[in-house]
Amino acid sequence: MNPINRKGYRLLHEGSFAFGRAERAGIRIDEQYCHKQLKSLENKERKLEKKIFNSKPGATWRSLYGSRAKLGSPDQLKAVLKKHYGLRIEGSVDKTVLASYNLPLLWAILRVRKLHKTRTTYLRGIASETLDGYLHPFFNLHTARTYRSSSSRPNFQNIPVRDPEVAKIVRRAFIARNGHCLVEIDYGAVEVRVAACYHEDPRMIRYLKTGFDMHGEMGAECYRTKKSQVSKDMRYAAKNRFVFPEFYGSYHKQVAPDLWNAIQELKLSLNDGTSLHTHLRKRGIKNFEDFGDHIERVEDRFWYEKFARYTEWKEEWLAAYRKTGYFDLKTGFRCRGWMRRNEVINYPIQGSAFHCLLWSFTRLDEEMRKRKMRSVIVGQIHDSILADVHLNELEDYIELATYISTKAIRKHWEWITLPLIVDVEIAPPDGTWYDKKERKVV
């Protein structure tokens, strides 16, 4: 830890007390539910495993390894694929690779992996750390190189949310205290906003101030459609396979295959139902070659026309680091040591964005105690805060949390030159974390 001024020091000092209070308060867990699900998942897993070993490729598996046969072994899997199908896989056998072969055996393996992960890492991890109905995950401020936080025993920051089946199984274990409900407040695009405070790119600032839909626009550009033709899935693909990777320092040769595979994987179609392959063919993109060339041009426009100032900033920032051997965060920290290009560019943004959360978390905790509120903050996930809120305090809590994290913070840190926004999600009083529903607040 290397704070360079009093503000930086105080942020971590007070933040660690606030995190400690959340850890002590804990999150209420439905232990009965956990144990029921653990058993049920174990059964499903065992049945599926049996089914796999009784199949034809499963027989090959048993003939090769006998009682030492393990579905979880990548080496064994590769040997079985080679013997049974004559299929040679070099290197990784992860989800994307296995899915691409579209074989019943491999889909079954992926399903076992998923059930197993859900049971062991999540439900078992939660159950074994729960004491008298409350879970107390650790929130650390001293482990991440980026000045972000981390969480462990269990890691509260990687609870499944994207896969609806798994999200449902795991998140239904998290419940509110009696007479309370769970409320999650998330910063919207905070890393993009904080980045803009560093590079001050005028076009990016205009986008952020007008609520412009960048993911939708890039969906249209990547797949050569009109903005009005962009479907929800296309936007999702553009966000996770173009915009974010590009911001993290990826480039077209990596990004283009992912965008291309998304067409199959997510069965992408236009708003009116036209298949994307058909559409692309009409626009002169007949194969992956063409598509790769197209994405290269999209990328060029993105960095050299749209966000030219951002691009300049990256080079200047890197050059300054290479000259001096360090760089400073706007939140009062100095980063030193040997770093690669992408690290130098990403750390200040990730770190400062997390510090916005940390400051808000700390102030909110302080104010809630001052007001003797019965609601408690129970956790944090990089850019969001989870609280267990007393029903009588619901409106007060939302108003206070929103005010602190969007308004008060800008009085404390004048370097935040852009508006910050939050989304509010609330679970019903008798609901679980899985049942949270969005409620837009600015």
Partner DNA sequence: TCGTTCACGC
Partner DNA sequence: GACGTACGTGAACGAA
Q: List interacting residues with DNA (CB under 7 A).
A: 70, 72-76, 92-95, 98, 110, 113-114, 116-117, 120-121, 124-125, 140, 143-146, 148, 150-155, 157-163, 166-167, 244-245, 248-254, 258, 341-343, 346-347, 350, 381-384
What gap in Å lies between CA 349 and CA 247, rounded to an integer? Answer: 10
H or E stretch at 253: helix 252-265
Detail the DSSP E strand segments found in 91-133.
130-131
Question: HSE on the CB side for 3, CA within 13 Å?
Answer: 14
- Cβ distance to DNA smaller for residue 170 or 204: 170
Closest separation in Å from C-beta 194 to DNA: 12
Task: Give min distance, CB of 297 to DNA, in A.
Answer: 13
Q: Is the Cβ of residue 204 or residue 270 nearer to DNA in the bound state? A: 204
Smallest CA-to-CA distance from 125 within 103, 153, 104 is with 153
Token pair of 33, please? 């539910």
Nearest approach, Cβ of 231 to DNA (angstroms)? Answer: 21
* Closer residue to DNA, CB minimum distance, 161 or 418: 161
* Identity of the residue, 244 or 403, whose beta carbon is nearer to DNA in the bound complex: 244
Instruction: Give min distance, CB of 225 to DNA, in A.
Output: 23
Smallest distance, DNA to C-beta of residue 223, A: 18
As measured in angstroms, the least distance from the Cβ of 281 to DNA is 27
Alpha carbons 151 and 330: distance in angstroms, whole number? 24
Nearest residue (CB) to DNA, 89 versus 373: 89
Nearest to DNA of 63, 342 (CB atom): 342
In the bound state with DNA, the residue whose beta carbon lies nearer, of 8 and 137, is 137
- Smallest distance from DNA to CB 290, Å: 19
Contact 307, 207 (CB under 8 A): no
As a whole number of angstroms, the distance between CA 136 and CA 435 comes to 21
CA distance 182 to 385: 10
| Least distance (Å) between residue 126 CB and DNA | 10
Burial label for 190, CB within 10 Å (0-12, 13-18, 19+), is buried
**Smaller CB distance to DNA: residue 144 or 441?**
144
Non-local CB neighbours of 405 within 8 Å, separated by 6+ positions: 185, 187, 356, 357, 360, 364, 385, 420, 422
Kindly give, in sequence order, each residue whose CB lies less than 8 Å from that of residue 323, ignoring residues fewer than 6 positions away: none
Closest distance to DNA from the beta carbon of 391 (Å): 25
Cis, peptide link before residue 348, omega less than 30° from 0: no
Residue 73 or 402: which CB sits closer to DNA? 73
Among 269, 169, 173, which residue's Cα sits nearest to residue 225? Answer: 269
Alpha carbon distance 368, 370 (integer Å): 5
